[in-house]
Structure formats: C-alpha cells, structure tokens
Structure 1
Amino acid sequence: MNSETGQGAHKHVWNGALLMAAAMLVSKLLGVLQKIPLQNLAGDRVFGIYNAVYPLYQLLLVAATAGLPPAVAIVVARRLAAGDGVGALQARRAALWLLGASGAAGFALLWLGAPLLASAIGDAHTSGAIRSVAFALWFVPALSALRGYSQGRSDMSAPAVSQVVEQFVRVAVMAALLAWGLSRAWEDSQMAAGAMAGSGAGALAAMALMAWKQRRLARAEGIAYAEVEVHAAQKSGQVQKQRGLSVEMKELSKLAFPMAFGAIVVPLAAVVDVFMVPRLLIGMGMPDAAAMSQFGMYSRGQTLVQLVAMISGAAASAMVPTLALSRGREQWEETRRQAGLALRAAWWIGAGAALGIALLARPINVMLFADDHATGTFAWIGLTALAAAVSTVSAAVLQGCGQVKLPALLLLGAAALKAALNAALVPAHGIAGAAAAGVIALTAAAIIAAAAARAALAASPPASAGAGGTAAAAAAAHRGSALAAARLRRRAA
C-alpha cells in the first residue's frame, strides 16, 4: 500500500469517527430532552424510579453485548480483506445467534427477578419499570451485531443513522405514553413503566432499519442471503454447517472477552448508587416514596455529566483502532501526538464543563427541572464532568496502546471507593454526601488513568516484527474494508 492510499485510509477512519461522534451527540441530546419532560410532568419520584431502573438495564445490556460489536467488526474486516464475503456474512449470522441468546438470558433475568431487584433497590414500585425495560433486551443485542457488521465494512453511516432513529423513536414513544398516562391519571409506578417502554420500541425500529439496509446492500453486491446458506450446506453438509456456527461463536467470544471485561465495569458506579442511596435514605427514616423522590433530585445533575462523558467517549473511541493500526508503522508518531492533544483537550473541556455546571447550577436546575431543589447536590455532581471527560479519553488511549484491563480495574476501584464513601457520607449528609463521594472517587480514578495513559504513550514502542501480526492483520483488515466500501460506492454511482 503506497503512502497516498495509507493516508486516505487513515482519513477515512477519522471521518467515520466524526460521523459516529456526531450521531452520538444527537442521540444523547435526544436522551436529555427525554428526561426533562419526564421529570417536569411526572415528578421527582417517577424520575427517581427511571434513574434507578435504567442503570440495571445498562449493566445487563453491557454484560450481554460488550465487546462483541467490535469483535464482529474485526472478523468481518479481516475476511473482506481476504476476499471472503461469504465468511463475513457467516460471522454476522454467528453474532446474531450469540447476541440473541445473551439478550434472551438478560430478559429472563430482569423479568423473573424484577420483584427481588425492586426489593434490593428499596422500592417495590420499581418492579413494573424493570419488567417494562426488559423487552428491549430482545432487540438491542441483535442490533449491536448488525452495527458491528456495518462497522467491519467501514460503513459508519448506517450505525450512525440507526443511533439517531433509535433515540428518536424511544423519545417519541416515551412522550406518547407519558401524555396518555397523565390523561388517565396513572400512578407513579405505571408512569415509570411507560417511560421505560420506549427503550424497546426504539431498539426495534433501529434493528429493522439496519436489517433493511444490509439486505439492500447484499442485493446490490449480488450476494443473496439464501445463496450463502446453500453454499455452506453444499460445501460441508448440514451437520458441518452447525459445527461451523459454533466455531464462529467461540472465535467471536474470545475476541470480545478482553473488551467486555472493561466495558462491564462502566455502569457499575451507577448501580452502586441504585442499590445504596435509596436504602441509606430509608435508613435515615424517610418513607420509600420520599427516598425515591430524593434519588430523583440526586439524578438531575447526572444528565449533563453523562452528556459530557458521551461526547468525549464518542470522539475518543476513534483512537483505539487508530493507535492499534499505527503501531509499527510510520504514522505512530503522528498518532501519538494526536492522542496527547486529545488528553490535554479532555482536561480543558472537562474543567470548563465542570466549573460551568457547578457555577450555574441553580439557573440550570430551574431551567431544566422547573425548581431549585437540591441545587447544592446538582453543583457537586457537576464537578464530576471533569473526571468523566478525562477518564473516557484516557481509557481509549490505554486500550489503543494494548492496556485493556487497566481502565476496567481503575473503574472497579472507583466503584468500590464510591460504595465506601456512600456508606460514610449519605447517613450524615443525604444525597449531597452521595454526590461528594462521586467527586472524590471518580476524580481519583481519572487522575490515575490520565497518568497511566501518558506513560503508555511515552513508553509504547512500535510493534516488533515478531509481535506485529495483530497490527498487520488489523491494517490489512482496514485496507480491505475500506476498499470494499469504495467499490460499493463506485457501483452505486
């Protein structure tokens, strides 16, 4: 590959990353808009139930899907680079089976375990919302497999559009059910269950869109899905085909495990709060409903902090494949400079966001949530925006340099510290104590992660010839997927 082609492929990666970042931004903004009318119209208790149940769903969703979409992308890209379009489709089929099974298991766990989980949270009225969101686990894992296949083909437009569609439908369904519930005087638990139902509807719409786009793509390339099945059956027989599916699933699982280990820790800090804060408030003598209302007030500031984290994470995620592809190649020094710049930008942008939210906590609270309740807590939580921005970028740099487990271990340590500080501060200071615990725990983890990322950039050598197989395979995979996408664009033109 000449330098001009390499630069074009490098630019293609960044263009795709920018598209995904823009889609993530639009998607998250729609998510913010979803929460504001929910709290304004339904009240802090419904908002508290929503924010207590959603982290549980996220944790199970990450456990069911983490690492598999990028693993699918890697396998698909490698096979397309080798000219094996049939093998790429077989990897897609294996991912659909694997993720479908894990999603069904997650649904069963939430549906059957809803009463037990509600009891652990401290409010039995959360049971309906838990069962409502469980339906999304039938669709989101399969949607993740389809997105991974598109990304393996260097087609970032379809996953980006599907993200926006998913969030738009989710918000629309939530708003419609919210309006219906208000007109019918639903109870708080019913309102929360209706709000959670939007997740499944959005995932179903996005999955249908991705499936339609990929079927149309296959037809445009002259590859019918029925022909793939006939080819596999003629080549090795039905029994061999089933054994091949099992092998495909094992290969994807092996690739996904290191990434899943890190991703599953991300929602853990939120789950720590879900199972600790309402119960600690109840232990202070609050009724269940009042404790959940307080938890809703505590969750207000997290909406903006999550926005900062998601924007940082969407932009930083591009560095993982770019750093991996650049090791052992002439672009390493340039990519290392770009990663260092991203780390510095994370500190500046995160600090600006944290100070802005903290200083403007009262007007933002009133503007978004119609009153100034728990403004002090809102300001404390706003300070965690710095840690969120730095942690997401640092984790991307560490993963790109091959240190996959360290970000997960740091987040695990932060969750443990958060739990210990919750136990010490919440009984004395209520939700303000929980917010202060988050600032301390997450900032400590962010500082360590940033120092480790800078050390990794300074010390990470180019891949040796003996150890460069993975980098070379990744580079070849990227070249093949980029060329395949270019061929498709020429045909469409």
Structure 2
Amino acid sequence: METKKYASFWQGAIILTIAGIIVKILSAFYRIPYQNIAGDIGFYIYQQVYPFYGVCLILGTYGFPVVISKLVASRMESGDITKVKDIIYISFLALMCIGILLFCTFFFGAEIIAGYMGDSSLQILLQVIAFSFLLMPFLSVMRGYLQGIGDMKPTAVSQVAEQALRVTIIVGLSLYLVAQGSNRYIVGGGAMFGSVAGSILGIVILAYYLHQRKASIYKASWSAISDKGMIIKLVVLQGILVCISNITLLLIQMVDSVTFYELLLQTGETSERSKVIKAVYDRGFPLIQLGTVVATSFVLPLIPMISAARTKGDYRAVKRYMQLAMKLTLVVALAATGGLICIIEQTNIMLFTDNQGSFTLGILAVCILVGSFGIVASAVLQGIGNTILPAFFAVVGVAIKYMGNIVLMPKLGDVGAAWAAVLSLSCISILNVVYLKHKMKMPLVGWKNASKVVFACLAMMFVLKGYVYGINTLVDHTSRYLISVEALSAVCIGGMLYLILIIRWGVFTIEEVGTVWKGKKLPSFLRSQRL
C-alpha cells in the first residue's frame, strides 16, 4: 500500500511539473508575437499591467491551492470527510473576501494606480484584470481540493487549457484590433480580456471534474465549524508565503512598472521615448523566463523526490538528490546565460524585429543564472518544510530592486534597471543557497565539478563568438530570416559542444544520469571513463 501511495504521489508530481513547464513556455512565447503585432508601445502598455495579473495567476495556481491541498490530504488520511468540507468552505469564504477586496482596489482605484504609474491611460487595463481576482477563489479551492484527494489531472488540464485559450485570444484579438486601427490601450485591454477568459475556462474544466466525482465541496455550516480562525490563518498566511517565493520575477517587473517610466521622465526623456525604452527593456523578461524554464525543467522533478525521501527519513537520498539538483542548475543555467550573451543581438532581431537595447538585454541574461539558483534553492527549502525564509529572502530582493532603480536609473537609465534586477536576483539566490547549505551541512556543488562546468561554458562562448564573427565577416546580411538562421545554428553548435565537454569531462556520474534520464543509454562516443 505504501509503495502504491508513493508511486501515485510521484506520478501526480510529474503531471503537475510537466503542466507547469508547458504553461511557463506558453507564457513566455506569446509575448514575442504580441510585441511583433502591437509594436514597442503596445508591448510597453501590456507589460506595465501584466505583473498584477501574474500575481493573481500564481495565487490561484501555486499559492493557495498548495496549502489547501495539504490540509485536505491530512484530513483525508484520517477519514474525516466532514472536516474536508469545512476546510474548503472556510477557505473559499476567506479567499473570496480577499478577491473582492483586490477587485475593488484595482477596479475602483484604477485611476489612482495608473496615475501613480505615470500613465493614466492604463486605467482600462487595470479595470479588466480586476475581474481575475473574483475568479481566483474558485480556481484555488477547486484545485486545492482535487490535488488534496490525489487527483492532479484536473489541475494540469485546467492550467494548460487556461493558458492556451489566453494566448489564443491575446494573439488573435490583438491582430484583429490592430488591423481595425484601434487605440493601443484598447488593444492592451483586449489582451487582458484573454486572461480573464482563460480563468473562466479553467473554472469550467475544474467544475466538470468535480461534477464527475459528484463532489459538493461548498456545502457546510459556518456556525458548526469550530476552528475557523486556524483554517483562515493557515490558508491565507501560508498561501501568501508559498506564492511570494514563486512570483519573485513578477514582483521585480512590478517594481519596474511603478518606477521605470517615471524615472525616465525625470531624466528628461520624452513620454513616447520612455515608453519605447521600457518596452525594449521588457524584451528581456520573456528571455529570462524561457531560460529559467529550460534551466529548471530537469531539476524541478527532483523536488518531490527530495520531499518524499525526507518524509521516509532517508536523509542520504535527500542530500544526493539535492546535490544533483544544484549541479543540474549550474550546468543548464550557465550554458543558457553564456550562450544567450554571445548571440543576444541575433536573438533580439530574430524575436523582436530589431537589435535595440541588446546591451541591456545582455545584462538581463545574467538573471537566468542567478534566478535559476534562486528558484531551485527556494523550491528545495520548501520541499524540506521551510516556507518563511524563502519568502523573506524574496521580499529583501524586491526591496533591493526598488532601491537599485532609484539609485542607478537616474545615472544609467535602462542599464541601471538591468543591473538592479541582476543584483536583486543575485541577493535572493545567495541567501537561499547559503541557508540551504547551512541546513544540509554539506557543500552543494563541488569545486572540481564547478570548475569543469565553467571551463566548458567559456569554451562554448569562445567558439560561439568566433562563429558569429566569422559569419558576419564573410556574409553581409541584414535579412531577419538569415539572422535567425545564424542564431539558431549558433545554438545548435554551442549546445552540442557544451554537452560533449560536460559528458566527456565526467561532470555527472552514471548514477546521476540514470536518475534524470531513467537509465537510458548514452551514445558511446559521449561516454567518459568515469561514466
């Protein structure tokens, strides 16, 4: 029975991880065609408001559902079905109060918020996303209940469907509105409508799964519930703590939303020029998101293994999986960062039509490396039962970003904002990694392996720079298509060289390779003596 339970837990964790990766990839990719359709000003408008919606999305996907599912699972273990309904009922009422408060804040206070952001025309977008907060309680409790009873499929399906519809509406409606010659802020409002529509679809899908189970999760009696205060405290407080650790990048973007444009105006930039600079700067965040998704996609499946090993008291396995997670993060994140820096101009043109702000985007690329370590270390700490400190570290990092913008942007402009982002994520990563090392009382990545990874990355960057220089010397090309071919071929060449060096130098043991790739054999020419 225990083996079956563990297998079910592992399968559910994998399903949610895969769904999460798909959602993050869709979330990063759709902004590229949107920028191409709406232009830099249109992209600026969307990016100014998106972080507020993103927080709502994370609350309804990772924050509150995680806590509710744990409470439900613990009551299901004891067979107390009545208590499960009490938890759902109280959680829903508490979250609905929060949702209504946030709805009123963003809908009726949109003019004030937009004014504080320096652009009163953003009011309509803020009012559209306000409706997302009313939908958040339904998504949270339904996902929390279904995950708590061990059914991860509805959450995974609803997440992917929600994001797919959202992306489809954003791209499709933007194409239509731009073709009709609509105001850019109306186009942005249409894009935000896609987010609300996606949430509604998510609720419909979850309701369908609940109907199949004939589950009436909202029926309970307020007066009959004895521990209302404890349930509310656990759900709200822990949900917010879990959420904060998962929205660091969104909070950093939110800081930029409320400071970047205003600070540029104070330096003497015109309103139109400031919007373009902000839009070009914001090109970096889809790249960071894609980079961190790639860097952590191999690692996040190990987090449930760490949690399960800790639950079983197998601390040797906990340390082994944890070290592998950090090693994988270093290998993939360093490659993604170094590779992107080498071809940042080509990537900028390929994705966003021109090479504006390539130097700034190159600085932001460093966020992939430091951000990935922060994400993984925070996830490991949460996996071993620590939620307060990772959230506190995230708050410290966001405060550093805010102060960094205030100090650096008047002198350096968008470059200062980029360095502030790097400094912020570096601080968060260092704090999480140092605390994790303290908790585990062991080195996270051996210096010998780390030096091999660094040299492999430097070799890859040297070859990539040579390749790009050679292509640009031999071929005078300005076509976006040819530049795209150059960028993609550079990725293939650099990636293959890096992979060969990592494996030939024995960075991973055969046991570690088996853990990640489930025992699949590597080609003989890639095997080192160590493997």
Task: Give the TM-score normalised by the residue count of structure 1.
Answer: 0.82
Determine the structure 2 residue equivalent to 1:260. Answer: 240
Q: Which residue of 1 aligns with 2:231?
A: 251
CA distance 1:383–1:130, shift in 2 (3 Å): same
Please report how far the alpha carbon of residue 84 of structure 1 lies from its aligned counterpart in structure 2 after TM superposition: 2.7
| TM-aligned CA deviation for residue 115 of structure 1 | 1.0
The more displaced of 302-311 and 444-453 is: 302-311
d(CA) in 2 for partners of 1:33, 1:325 = 33
- 1:356-413 CA distances to partner (integer Å, 9 max, x unpaired)? 2222211211111111111111111111001111001101122233332221222222
When structure 1 is superposed on structure 2, of 419-428 and 38-47 the one drifting more is 419-428
Q: Distance in 1 between matches of 2:272 and 2:301?
A: 43
Q: In 2, Cα distance between the equivalents of 1:299 and 1:246?
A: 49
Q: Does 1:270 align with 2:253?
A: yes
Query: Could you say if the C-alpha distance between residues 274 and 170 of structure 1 is closer, same or farther in structure 2, counting changes exceeding 3 Å?
Result: same
Q: What residue identity is the alignment partner of 2:231?
A: E
Give the AA of the match of 2:318.
T
| Selected match of 1:93 from 80, 89, 102 | 89
> How far 1:196 moved relative to its partner?
1.1
Q: Which amino acid aligns with 1:257?
A: L
Map 1:40-189 onto structure 2 (within 5 A). Answer: 40-59=36-55, 67-189=63-185
Q: Quick one: distance in 1 between partners of 2:226 and 2:54?
A: 27
Distance change in 2, residues 1:291/1:126 (3 Å): same
- Equivalent positions of 1:69-468 (< 5 A) are 69-218=65-214, 225=216, 229=219, 241-244=221-224, 247-248=227-228, 250-261=230-241, 263-264=243-244, 266=248, 267-310=250-293, 323=306, 326-327=309-310, 329-458=312-441
Aligned-residue offset at 1:314? 7.1
Identity of aligned residues (%): 27
Q: Distance in 2 between matches of 1:249 and 1:74?
A: 17
Amino acid at match of 1:290: R
Distance 1:295 1:6, change over 3 A: same
Q: Deviations over 1:437-479 (max 9, x none)?
A: 21122123212311221221238xxxxxxxxxxxxxxxxxxxx
Pick closer, same or farther for the CA change 1:369–1:290 going to 2, 3 Å.
same
Match of 2:490 in 1: none
AA partner of residue 147 (structure 1): R
- Residue type at the aligned position of 1:98: A
C-alpha contact (below 8 Å) 2:69/2:146 kept by paired residues = yes
How many equivalent pairs are there?
A: 439
Look up the equivalent residue of 1:389 and give its one-letter code: S
Query: d(CA) in 1 for partners of 2:152 and 2:176?
Result: 36
> Matches of 2:296 and 2:150 in 1, distance apart?
19
Distance in 2 between residues matched to 1:427 and 1:454, nearest whole Å: 37
| Matched residue type, 1:44 | D
Give structure 1 stretches of 5+ with no counterpart. 219-223, 233-240, 460-493
Q: 1:48 to 1:287 in 2, by over 3 A?
A: same
Segments of 5+ residues of structure 2 without an aligned counterpart are 443-531
CA distance in 2, matches of 1:169, 1:61: 14
Q: Deviations over 1:49-82 (max 9, x none)?
A: 2111111233466678874212211121122212
RMSD after superposition: 2.5
Q: Residue 152 and residue 70 in structure 1: after superposition, are their counterparts in 2 closer, same or farther (change >3 A)?
A: same
Matches within 5 A, 1:19-34: 19-34=15-30
Between 1 and 2, higher relative CO (CA 8 Å, sep ≥ 6) is seen in: 1
Mark the CA change 1:65 to 1:171 in structure 2 (over 3 Å): closer, same or farther.
closer
Secondary structure of 1:225 counterpart: coil
CA-to-aligned-CA distance 1:208-227 (integer Å, 9 cap, x gap): 10011111023xxxxx639x
Q: Give the letter aligned to residue 260 of structure 1.
A: I
* Letter in structure 2 aligned against 1:82: S
Question: 1:344: Cα distance to partner?
Answer: 1.7
Query: Alpha-carbon deviation of 1:164?
Result: 0.5
Specify whether residues 320 and 345 from structure 1 end up closer, same or farther in structure 2 by C-alpha distance, changes over 3 A only. closer
Alpha carbons of structure 1 residues 8 and 333: separation in structure 2 relative to 1, 3 Å: farther
SS at 2:399 equivalent: helix
**TM-score, normalisation: structure 2:** 0.77
Distance 2:134 2:306 in 1: 34
Matched with 1:490 is: none
Letter in 2 for 1:225: S
Equivalence for 2:470: none
Output the amino acid matched with 1:261: L
Q: Which moved more, 1:142-151 or 1:424-433?
A: 424-433
SS of the counterpart of 1:285?
coil
Q: Deviations over 1:404-423 (max 9, x none)?
A: 22212222222222222222
CA distance in 1, matches of 2:139, 2:193: 17
Letter in 1 for 2:324: L
Following the alignment from structure 1 to structure 2, what is the Cα–Cα distance between the partners of residues 328 and 210?
30
Offset, 1:109: 0.6
CA distance in 2, matches of 1:149, 1:121: 38
Q: Is the 8 A contact 2:344 2:362 kept in 1?
A: yes
Contact 2:59–2:239 at 8 Å: present in 1 too? no
| Deviation at residue 12 of structure 1 after TM alignment | 2.8
Task: Assess if the C-alpha contact under 8 Å between 1:417 and 1:441 holds in 2.
Answer: yes
- Measure, in 2, the Cα distance between the counterparts of 1:255 and 1:36: 36
